[in-house]
Structure 1
């Protein structure tokens, strides 16, 4: 089982990096690459975090640390958010714009969120994830939003329509961000509950295994 875990973690990490590099290369070849804009997408950032976590987890699958559990939970929440928000709000836009290669979209918005969540279930946290600690996972999305709004006002570019105040004003942005924030909190709660539940199952199996 450990070999299987190592393989799929490494494979997903490599696939994420390959997808990001491929899209970066294509954008550069088409003359539309703005590196600052490219790496400002939550999709790119969350997938880089996911690739780092999966890659490190492939190298050290037996790592037993409460801090590592929290890092994994955070990465799972961020990619969970990426997948769901894309499916609900951005998939039609991506199809219309057509600037992202289809297979890159599939890897970054569909496969990686599923793989890292399934990994969280197959290899649940070794320690109980307490809700007060999980709230710290929200720091990064909040900082990303602050950065995005400040930078957007400076460079006149926003990565997603729901954080762009130009078409419909700030009221629209506030409503959309509140809705997404509620979603992220919901995803965080799901990740905490799923991880703790699967940890209990794993503990029971270990306790009932023959000596």
Structure 2
């Protein structure tokens, strides 16, 4: 008899974990929107943060995985899942390394939305990627395309800040903070290098997890009647 893998989309613990991720992400962003409306922050600025966008991607991903069964998803779905996982995990890492004040990195006195979107959700989605294997093997060559969104975001932020309203979402994108456009090479380069490395680490983990799950499933299944020698 075929033994089902424990951690699949159909497993109750996986569905419960993804519901928890979804509720956390929805509540955090709803709280953000409440604060935005109260503070008068322009929506064009709030929704321009990579953190907010990556968390919205997580919400869409969790809804997709909870509502659409694996067999109905397109072949490229695992790459979408991997890309969003990389974006949200790197959101947490970039915040901890570059954006957070030294006393914020390990502090628990920060507000809920900050903790949820920069700490809880990144590791929760990362754990989901680590423990629930992909349906298809991740292609590292195709994973290079995961960089398209971060690079597009970077270009759009610079075009907006340089040509439209002078607003930049993060200090490492602001030429005024670094003495001009030439001064952005190092801080922005660090972020891009982190994204390249992080994306291929996430893709590599997904590729290995697929292999392990396939071999484990094959080893766990005793030969059926069709494969038994007469």
Fold shared, TM-score > 0.5 on shorter chain: yes
- Coordinate RMSD, CA, aligned: 1.8
What's the offset of the Cα at 1:60? Answer: 3.1
Q: Which moved more, 1:59-68 or 1:183-192?
A: 59-68
TM-score by length of 1: 0.90
In structure 2, stretches of 5+ residues that fail to align are 1-6, 105-109, 223-230
Contact 1:129–1:195 at 8 Å: present in 2 too? yes
Query: 1:52-91 to 2 correspondence within 5 Å?
Result: 52-60=60-68, 62-63=70-71, 65-91=74-100
In structure 1, stretches of 5+ residues that fail to align are 96-100
Q: Helix, strand or coil: the match of 1:70?
A: helix
Structure with higher Rg: it is 2
Aligned residue in 1 for 2:130: 121
- For the residues of structure 2 that align with 1:107 and 1:123, how far apart are their CA atoms? 22
Give the aligned length: 205
Aligned residue in 1 for 2:201: 190
Indicate yes or no: 2:168 matched with 1:158.
Answer: yes
TM-score by length of 2: 0.83
Indicate yes or no: 2:187 matched with 1:176.
Answer: yes
Contact 1:15–1:107 at 8 Å: present in 2 too? yes
Post-superposition CA distance 1:39-64 (Å, at most 9, x none): 00000001111111122112235346
Q: Helix, strand or coil: the match of 2:100?
A: helix
- For the residues of structure 1 that align with 2:85 and 2:103, how far apart are their CA atoms? 23
Contact 2:50–2:91 at 8 Å: present in 1 too? yes
